[in-house]
Amino acid sequence: MDYIVVTNNPLVQKSIDLSVEYCSTLDEVMFMTRDFIHLGYELITHPLSGSVKPVQCPYKSIVLKKDQNNIKRKMLDYQAVKIIESAIKKVEQFKKNHIFREYPKSVLIDYQTIDFTLLKSGLDSI
Amino acid sequence: MKLELGKILIDDVKFGDKIEVNDGVLTVNKDKLIEEVSEDSRIESLDIELAKPGDSVRIIPVKDVIEPRVKVDGPGDIFPGVLGGEEIVGLGRTHALKGVGVVTTGEIVGFQEGIIDMSGPGADYTPFSSLNNIVVTCEVDNDLAQSEYEEVSRMVGFKAAKYIGEAAKELEPDEVEIFEHKPFPEAIAEYPNLLKVGYVYMLQTQGLLHDTYVYGVDAKQILPTLISPTEVMDGAIVSGNCVSACDKNTTYVHLNNPIIKDLYEHHGEEYNFMGVIITNENVTLADKERSSNYVVKLAEQLGLDAVIISQEGFGNPDADLIMNCAKLEDKGIKTVLTTDEYAGRDGLSQSLADATPKADAVVTAGNANQTVTLPSMEKVIGHQKFADVIAGGFDGSLNEDGTITVEIQAIIGATNELGFGNLTAREY
C-alpha cells in the first residue's frame, strides 16, 4: 500500500495497518502533511474534521498517498496546497481562543475514538 | 406526490394516566412511555422529564430533538427504513404535534455538547426553548462502545416521537397545509416562464456522531440523489449527529426544513421549485469531488437555472459547499449558499475554511464563536459538568455560581445553517 497516515492519535498508531508518521502535536501533523504535499504526495482525506473543532479536539489523522510519478516529476497539487494552508489558518485561529487544559483521560479516549472513526470512514472508501 | 400536513397545536404537556390530547394539552403516561422505548437490553436506565418554555431548566448535553408525527393516510410509516418499513413516504396525510419536542440526552462522549436553556438569555439562542419538551435521558453500561450508545439513544428518540405522535392520529388538525411535488415533465410545463429552482441539501456524513440516515441508509454511502420535499416531511432523513450543536440539523429541523418551506411559499409566483437534491459531506477529497460532480449532473438533468445550497457542520464540509458552488456556477447554474461562520470571537477571521469568488451570494446564520454567559438554572436535566469540555466551552466555562460562559456553538440550533435559528441581522 502506498498510503501513509500522518497522526498524533495514539489509538490510530496502534490500530492502523498502514505506514504511520507519528507526530507529537496537532501542529506537527498539519506541517508534516503540508510538507508531504509539496513533495508530491496526494492528499486523500480533508485535514479538518467534520465538526469536532481543531485544537479543542487535540488529535488529527490525515491520509496521503505516495504517487511515485508525481514525486519524480515534482508535480504539485495546488488545490491540496490551498486546502492544507486554509486548514493551518483555521487551526491557528482556533488556538487563539483556546485555553490549554488537561482533559480527563476518558475525554481524551473519546476524542481519539472520534478521530479514529472519521479516519476509518475515509479509509473504507478508498 | 401530494402530502397533507395536519398540524395539531399543543400549548402544554403534562404527565397523566393515558396519552391523549385535549384542548391543546398533551397528556403522556410516563411509565407507559418508558416501557415503550426501553426494550433495548443495552439500556441501563431511562428517565423522562418535562421542560417547558419559561422554566428555569437547562438540558445538557442534547443529542437530538424530534417532532412527534404520525402517518394518517398513505403508504409507509414515519421514519421509514428506521422504524417503518421500506415503503416510500411523502404522500397521503401526516399529522404533527406542533409545539412539542422529544429531546434525547445522554453521556455518549465526554465532550458532548448541546445546551437548551428554557429561559434566560440562552433561551433566545435556541429555537427549541419555545417547545414543550419531553426529555428522555438514556444511560447505558459504561463498557458499551460510543457508537452503540449513539445508536441506542438515536432509536429511543425516534420510538418516543413515534409513540407520542400516534396520539395525533384521530385528531382534527387545527391547520392543514398541502404540499405537492409533481412529476418533472408536469412541473416544468406548469410554469414554463418561471426560473427553475432547486435545493441542494447537504447532509453531515463523516463518521461516528457525524452521520445522517436516508430511509435508514447511512448517507455517506449514497451518491447524491433526488428526494421529494414531502418525503423529508415524513421523516425520510433523520439525524445521527451529536457534535456541532449550533449548526447540526436535528431530526426536528429535517422534518421542518425552513428552506423547503420558503421555497414552497413563492413556488409558482417567483420561481418554479423543482425539487431537492440530497448530497453528503464525506471525509475523502475523492468522495467530495464525486458527490459534487454528481450534484451538478442531477441539476443539469433537471434543467435547473438556480439552486440554494445549504451546508451542515463546519470544517471539511466547507470544501463540499465550495465545490458544489463553483462547479454549479461553472455550468451557468446560479447559487445561493446558506452557512454559518467561525470567524473568531472578534468576528475578524476568515469565516469558512474554503472560499471561491464564485460564492457571491451567501447567507450567514451567525458567528458560532460569539460568546454568551448563561445564568444558572434551578434544574439541570443531563450533565452540567459537560460545560467545560463541550465545543465552545473552555476551562472555567462552568463558574462556581453555576453560570456558564460559552461560545454560542454550544447551544443547539444557535446558528443552524438552514436558517432554523433565532439570530438575524438588522441595519440601524
Task: Please check whether residue B308 is in contact with residue A45, taking contact to mean a CB–CB distance below 8 angstroms.
Answer: no
When pLDDT is cut at 50, 70 and 90, the band that residue B142 belongs to is: confident
Q: A64: nearest CA in chain B? A: B284
Please indicate whether, in this complex, the C-beta atoms of A97 and B395 are within 8 angstroms of each other: no
Residues ≥6 apart with Cβ < 8 Å to B103 = B51, B59, B62, B64, B65, B116, B128, B133, B134, B135, B136
Please give the average per-residue pLDDT across B216-224, as a whole number. Answer: 96
- Here the cell at position B352 is 469558512
The contacts of residue A92 (CB under 8 Å, 6+ apart) are none
Of the listed ranges A65-69, A96-100, B21-25, B422-426, the least confidently predicted one is A96-100
Residue B389 pLDDT > 60 = no
Residue B376 is placed in which grid cell?
A: 444558572
The CA distance from A18 to the nearest CA of chain B, in Å, is 17
**φ and ψ at A81, to 5 degrees?**
-60, -45
Q: Among A46, A101, A118, which would you mutate to test the B interface (most chain B Cβ atoms within 10 Å of its Cβ)?
A: A46
The position carrying cell 460532480 is B293
Q: Find residues 53-82 of chain A whose CB sits inside 8 Å of chain B.
A: 53-54, 56-57, 63, 80, 82
Nearest Cα of chain A lies from the Cα of B313 at a distance, in angstroms, of 5
User: Which tens digit of pLDDT belongs to each residue from B233-247?
Assistant: 999 999 998 778 999
The answer, for A30 touching chain B at a CB cutoff of 8 Å, is no
B6 vs B13, B96, B178, B228, CA distance in Å?
A: 19, 6, 9, 18
Per CB-CB distance under 8 Å, the chain B contacts of A52 are 111, 243-244, 315, 391
Active site residue B325: no
Q: What is the mean pLDDT of residues B109-116?
A: 80
By C-alpha distance, the chain B residue nearest A80 is B285
Please give the average per-residue pLDDT across B319-323, as a whole number. Answer: 96
Q: Which of B70, B53, B51, B52 is nearest to B7 (CA)?
A: B70
**Contact across the interface for A80 and B220, Cβ inside 8 Å:** no
Lowest mean pLDDT among A104-108, B212-216, B265-269: A104-108
Cα separation, B67 vs B123, in Å, equals 19
**Chain A residues with CB-CB distance to B391 below 8 A:** 51-53, 56
A–B CB contacts, 8 A cutoff, strictly below: 147
A91 inside 8 A of chain B by CB: no
CB contact (8 A) between residue A122 and residue B282: yes
Category of B67 on φ-ψ map: left (φ > 0), alpha (ψ -120 to 50) or beta = beta
CA distance linking residue B413 with residue B422, whole number of Å? 8
Residues of A in contact with B394 (CB under 8 A): 97-99, 101
Rg of the Cα atoms in chain B: 21
Q: Are B138 and B104 in contact (CB under 8 A)?
A: yes
Residue B139 has pLDDT above 60, yes or no: yes
- β-partners of residue A61 are A7
Instruction: Tell how strand B175-180 and strand B2-9 pair up.
Output: antiparallel
At B42-85, the pLDDT tens digits run 999 999 999 999 999 999 999 999 999 999 999 999 999 999 89
In this complex, which of A87, A96, A118 lies closest to B353 when CB atoms are compared?
A87
Using one digit for the tens of pLDDT, what is the confidence trace for B15-49?
999 999 999 999 999 999 999 999 999 999 999 99
For A36-86, what is each residue's pLDDT tens digit? 999 999 999 999 987 788 888 899 999 999 877 777 777 788 999 999 999
Which residue among B285, B317, B394 sits closest to A50, beta carbon to beta carbon? B317
CB–CB of B110 and A107 under 8 A? Answer: yes
Domain residue spans in chain B? Answer: 2-410
Confidence band for B207, pLDDT divided at 50, 70 and 90:
confident
Residue B279's nearest CA partner among B352, B200, B186, B347 is B200
Q: Which of A51, A103, A120 sits opposite B389 (nearest CB)?
A: A103
- Among A45, A54, A121, whose Cβ lies nearest the Cβ of B220? A121
Q: How far is A4 from chain B (nearest CA, A)?
A: 14
Q: How far apart are CA B347 and CA B366, in angstroms?
A: 10
Point out the catalytic residue in the list B138, B242, B246, B325: B242
Strands B100-105 and B62-66, bridge-based pairing: antiparallel
Of A86, A101, A125, the CB nearest to B287: A125
Kind and range of the H or E run holding A21: strand A19-22
Residue A31 pLDDT > 70, yes or no?
yes
Q: B136 to chain A, minimum CA–CA distance in Å?
A: 23
Count Cα atoms within 13 angstroms, Cβ side, for B209: 29
Phi, psi of B165 (to 5 degrees): -60, -30
Residue A84 near chain B (CB below 8 Å): no
